[in-house]
Amino acid sequence: MESLRLIDQWPVDNAAAAVVRADGTVAGRHGDPGREFPLASVTKLLTAYAALIAFEEGVVELDTPAGPPGSTVRHLLAHTSGLAFDAHKSMAEPGNRRLYSNAGFEQLTDALTEHSGIAFATYLSQALLEPLDMANTRLEGSPAAGAVSTVDDLVRFAAELQQPKLLDPSTVAEATSVVFPGLTGVLPGFGHQKPNDWGLGFEIRDHKSPHWTGSASSPRTFGHFGQSGTFLWVDPDAQAACVALADRNFGPWAAEAWPPFTDAVLAELREG
């Protein structure tokens, strides 16, 4: 895909990107798809998917208490537990505000470890990474932001998100639909959003503005971006997903470069 060559214009030392269709075929790759990059918060997509596998395996229920008093697995996944961004302290009652929280994902995996008896990094590998043959992906730190991966591995994950084999499609549909609708909050890097819609670990595009996806992205688009210069989105209307990884931290360059890049990818998909 010619649109992927736009990453060559990004002010980064290294970048790689790929587009995978809903049927699992790769529409295009550019850059080194085997190069390892820190994912930062794109890690949350992997963590959330493993949590959903744990739910289907009966390890926990979505309404299992987890996190601060009154909070559940569902609250933690949807960033509505009331926990602060990076501190293990409550800032609001569960369910009342959309407070994006790394601490929430750490407490989520604490609960999964407690109920499964398996260290989360091990569970993640056994439940998700190994079945999808994501051999170059590993969790090196926080389950909120500590994974390392490659474009090739995330292409496999993006294919799974579109045609689930490890989860029932209805579970993925619930996870990628708005949970606790109508809540406002701050989308990191893009300011206050009203509403600030999320699913179960997946950010929902809806009608947010500004946003890191494109103006042509459908409201049903879901995914995540990371502060390390990474993103993964799935646009069900376009029947495709896109992964882009770079080695420069998120900043104004990314907020300017990513939306037109996504629009170019979507335009080429429509033409093709």
pLDDT the model gives residue 263: 98
Q: Which residues contact residue 57 at a Cβ distance below 8 angstroms, ignoring those fewer than 6 apart? A: 127
Reading the chain (272 residues) residue by residue, the pLDDT tens digits are 999 999 999 999 999 999 999 999 999 999 999 999 999 999 999 999 999 999 999 999 999 999 999 999 999 999 999 999 999 999 999 999 999 999 999 999 999 999 999 999 999 999 999 999 999 999 999 999 999 999 999 999 999 999 999 999 999 999 999 999 999 999 999 999 999 999 999 999 999 999 999 999 999 999 999 999 999 999 999 999 999 999 999 999 999 999 999 999 999 999 97
Q: Say how far residue 23 (Cα) sits from the centre of its chain.
A: 20
CA 54 to chain centre: 17
Q: Are 85 and 99 contacting, i.e. CB atoms less than 8 angstroms apart?
A: yes
Residue boundaries of the structural domains of the chain: 2-271
Q: CA 230 to CA 248: how far, in whole Å?
A: 9
**DSSP letters of the chain?**
-GGGGGGGGSSSS-EEEEEEETTS-EEEEES-TT--EE-GGGHHHHHHHHHHHHHHTTS--TTSB-SSTT-BHHHHHTT-S-B-SSSSSB-S-TTS-B---HHHHHHHHHHHHHHHSS-HHHHHIIIIITTTT-TT-EE-S-TTT-EEE-HHHHHHHHHHHHS-SSS-HHHHHHHTS-SSTT--EEETTTEEESS--B-SS-EE-TT-SS-SS-TTS-TT-EEEEETTTEEEEEETTTTEEEEEEESS--SHHHHHHHHHHHHHHHHHHHH-
The structure's pTM equals: 0.97
- CATH architecture label of 2-271: 3-Layer(aba) Sandwich (3.40)
Residues pairing with 15 in the sheet: 246
The pLDDT value given to residue 94: 97
pLDDT in tens, 220-268: 999 999 999 999 999 999 999 999 999 999 999 999 999 999 999 999 9
pLDDT averaged over every residue in the chain: 97
Instruction: Give the model's pLDDT for residue 272.
Output: 75
